[in-house]
Amino acid sequence: MAKRIFSILILFFLILTACDLQLPQTQTETNKVGIQEEQKEQEKNKIIASEEKGDNAPLPSAEYIINLFFKLINEKHISEAIAMMGEKMIPDDNAKQAWGVQFNAFESINVLNLEPYNQDTWTNTERIYKVSLETSMSPDSANAPIPYYGWDGNPNIRWVSVEKDSQNLWKIASISTGP
C-alpha cells in the first residue's frame, strides 16, 4: 500500500513538472510576483503615454531632410528622393516621372552649403533655405527642353522650401532658382 501511495505521489509530481505547473507560493513570494507585475504594467503605461505625447525619438530636422534629399539623388535612389517631396510638387504620376527623368540626369549632386533664408517669415510648418550645390550633369541632358535642366554651372544656388506634412515630417515643397 505504501508503495502504491509513493508511486501516486511521484506520478503526481511528474505530471506537475511536465505541465510546468507551480506549487502554491508563500505569501511573500506571491507579493513579490504581484509587485513585479504591477511595475511592469506601470512601465508599459509610461511607454504608451510617452508615445501618445510624441516623446519618442526626435523627428529629423528640415536641414537633415534637405541634405538627405540631395544625397539620395546623388546615390541614384531616385524613387526615395521623390518620396520626400510634398504633394504640391508631385501631384500625379506625370510629375513623378518628370522629376525622375531630371534627377536621373545628374551624374553627381552635392550640397556645398545650406543656410536659413528669411527666418522672420518661417512658421512651425514652413521654412526656406538657400542651398549651394555642386553638380555634374549627364552629357545627354544638354538636349533636354531646358539644357541640363537648368543645372549647368557651379555652384548652383537653389532656394529650397520645406513644409510639414500631416505626419509632422518635413517634405521638400519647392526648389527654385530665386527666393
Top mean-pLDDT range of 23-32, 56-65, 98-107: 98-107
**Residue 41 — very low, low, confident or very high, per pLDDT cuts 50/70/90?**
low
- Identify the CA nearest to 116 among candidates 68, 61, 74, 155: 61
171 or 37: whose pLDDT is higher?
171
Long-range contacts of 92-96 (CB under 8 A, 24+ apart): none
Examine the pLDDT at 129 and tell me if it is beyond 60: yes
pLDDT average, residue stretch 101-109 = 96
What percentage of the chain carries pLDDT values higher than 90? 63
Mean pLDDT value across residues 136-144: 93
Extract the C-alpha cell encoding 134: 555642386
**pTM of the full structure:** 0.68
Helical (H) or strand (E) element with 109:
strand 106-116
Does the pLDDT at position 52 exceed 50? no
